[in-house]
Amino acid sequence: MPEKITETDLIHALSGVFRTYGYEGASMALISQATGLKKSSLYHRFPDGKQQMARAVAHAISGGIEKQALAPLNGPGSPKARVKQAAQRLNTFYENGNKPCALDTLSIAGDQGEATLAELRESYDALIKGFTNIAIEAGTKPKAAQQRAIRAIVLIEGALVVTRITGDSDSFKRVIKELPDLLCDA
Amino acid sequence: MPEKITETDLIHALSGVFRTYGYEGASMALISQATGLKKSSLYHRFPDGKQQMARAVAHAISGGIEKQALAPLNGPGSPKARVKQAAQRLNTFYENGNKPCALDTLSIAGDQGEATLAELRESYDALIKGFTNIAIEAGTKPKAAQQRAIRAIVLIEGALVVTRITGDSDSFKRVIKELPDLLCDA
DNA sequence: GTCTATAATATGATAGAC
DNA sequence: GTCTATCATATTATAGAC
């Protein structure tokens, strides 16, 4: 008797496929393989098909960034120590730079739909917000703090692209390492 | 009577489609529309089909980066002034940050083939080489110069991703503006 | 909730006329 | 060199059994 796969595991598997192959590259065949569910079962869970799956992934990521990756930013310790912890979680989330970011691969022109793109923008905003606040707390003026936050995301996304091209995750490791100073130093 | 479209125009149109939609998203229908050639005509020019088209685009870009975008780096003027000119050409090439980079969209997992990926890596190497040399000429030690070059590419690629997500090209403009100092300052 | 089977369409690719 | 017409396959999606 087939068991019901949990929503969490399902979204995680979907996330892996969409992040790795992008929206157009993530065929139902690949998705079926990655989730262990037949196509018809996937349509039972997501009646609107691939677009709804991508939307769910983007939504889960936007929530996960706030509640998982950036959680340490609101915890105890100095701002720099908290950024260090968040950076480590980001490092895990991106598998040392070897797993693409959905903000990149899912935002490429295609049929993913405006709702998914809106969710991606929310993820971006959540990151900006988290990074900006910690930079402010570390003593940077709001406007400059936001510039630092944007710069942090630019560096993360760029390093992930470079890692994908070169196969060398050094630049990503470097960005993760520099993140605390980038956001908190005077 | 149908005229023969030039190789240059053809590659340029192909480049636009692949950069915008990625390899999987660049369907033959889209390619046909963008080039003005029917699918069979495209197969006449590229007997190996889509993979060969992507390869040709990646190859043209790797050549174009050296001979077009980075040409000012070997011209007259101070290192910083030369970088400024190259940055302007890159700004044009990326259409103020609104056109994706092939290194990003064409490197996403799919059927593009190893040859295309190898060409992308050559493009990356050409950029690294050009940026590293000018940084050395500006007085930076080779090892540090290469780190600056990598950082420059990370920033460019990251800013293009952020611009695609937000629709705001400010971060890309900023990177273009900062490029001379980034590569040449002490 | 998952499955097998099937449908309708889009896809990459080819044959042959002009 | 480009075209129309066609092919085989892969694609997204649905119907209905268990």
Question: At B142, which CATH number?
Answer: 1.10.357.10
| Residue A177, in any domain of the structure | yes
CB contacts under 8 A, A 75-114 vs B, are 100-101, 103-105, 107-110
Measure the CA–CA gap between A121 and A110, rounded to whole angstroms: 16
| Residue B161, in any domain of the structure | yes
Residue A101's domain spans which residues?
Answer: 59-184
| Residue A157, in any domain of the structure | yes
| Residue B2, in any domain of the structure | no
| Residue A66, in any domain of the structure | yes
Per residue in B92-142, pLDDT (tens digit) is 999 999 999 999 999 999 999 999 999 999 999 999 999 999 999 999 999
Question: What confidence score (pLDDT) does residue A2 get?
Answer: 56
Question: What confidence score (pLDDT) does residue B25 get?
Answer: 98
Per residue in A153-168, pLDDT (tens digit) is 999 999 999 999 999 9
Q: Is the pLDDT of residue B1 over 70?
A: no
Which residue from A123, A110, A109 is spatially nearest to A57, judged by alpha carbons? A123
Strand nucleotide closest to residue B31 (CA to C1'): C12
Question: What confidence score (pLDDT) does residue B2 get?
Answer: 57
Contacts of A69 (CB under 8 A, 6+ apart): A86, A89, A90, A93
More confident residue, B67 or B10: B10
Which residue from B183, B171, B49 is spatially nearest to B127, judged by alpha carbons? B183
Side-chain half-sphere CA neighbours of A158 within 13 A: 27
Nearest 5°: the CA angle A23, A20, A158 is 100
Residue B74 CB neighbour total at 10 angstroms:
12
| Residue B42, in any domain of the structure | yes
| Residue A138, in any domain of the structure | yes
Domain count, chain A: 1
Average pLDDT over residues B161-174: 98
Contact A80, A20 (CB under 8 A): no
Q: Which residues of chain A have pLDDT under 70?
A: 1-2
Cβ contacts of B105 on chain A, cutoff 8 Å:
108
Cβ contacts of B151 on chain A, cutoff 8 Å:
171
Which residue from B104, B101, B103, B105 is spatially nearest to B90, judged by alpha carbons? B101
What pTM did the predictor assign? 0.97
Contact A35, A26 (CB under 8 A): no
For B43-47, the CB contacts below 8 A with 24+ separation are B45/B10
Question: Considering chain B, what is the average pLDDT of its residues?
Answer: 96
Cβ–Cβ below 8 Å for A25 and B109: yes
Please report which confidence band the pLDDT of residue B150 belongs to, taking 50, 70 and 90 as the band edges.
Answer: very high
Interatomic distance B22 CA / C9 C1' (Å): 22
Cβ contacts of B104 on chain A, cutoff 8 Å:
104, 161
| Residue B141, in any domain of the structure | yes
Q: Work out if A25's Cβ lies within 7 angstroms of strand C.
A: no
